[in-house]
Amino acid sequence: MQIESTQVDEKVVLKLTGRMDAQNATAFEEACMEWVNKGVVEIVLDMQGLQYISSLGLRSFVVIGQLTKQKGGQLRLCGVTGLVKQVFEITRVHTMFSMYDSVESALAGG
């Protein structure tokens, strides 16, 4: 999985590409933690290029979502499609997050 970070004002967009599984879920958490430790607690995940997510990947989303919420921020998801969307819906994890169609709408969202 590849993670590209772009800071936009006091928010950050993390573009996720590939597969999030047990091998790289920790790398995702670490990338998010770096931003949170810098004081950035508004994180937008651009998931258009994410093709697969494992249960460990889902756990990482929940952990980071809770952390940003505790710090007064929010984890926003956009571009969730295909198999990844199905996994989020089947597990009901999608109810824990604000979901958007595009990065722009996620950045603009409350």
Coil, strand or helix at 72: coil
Q: Which amino acid is at 99?
A: M
Rounded to two decimals, the pTM is: 0.93
Give the total number of structural domains in the chain. 1
CA 55/CA 71 separation, integer angstroms: 25
CA 24/CA 104 separation, integer angstroms: 26
Categorize the per-residue pLDDT at 102 as very low, low, confident or very high, splitting at 50, 70 and 90.
very high
Segments forming the whole domain that contains residue 33: 2-108
Between β-strands 2-8 and 11-20, what pairing exists: parallel, antiparallel or unpaired?
Answer: antiparallel
The pLDDT tens digits for 40-89 are 999 999 999 999 999 999 999 999 999 999 999 999 999 999 999 999 99
Torsion, Cα 44 28 57 79, to 10 degrees, reads: 30
Predicted local distance difference test score (pLDDT) of residue 49? 96
Tokens describing residue 106: 């996620």
The pLDDT tens digits for 2-38 are 999 999 999 999 999 999 998 899 999 999 999 999 9
The CATH number for 47's domain is 3.30.750.24
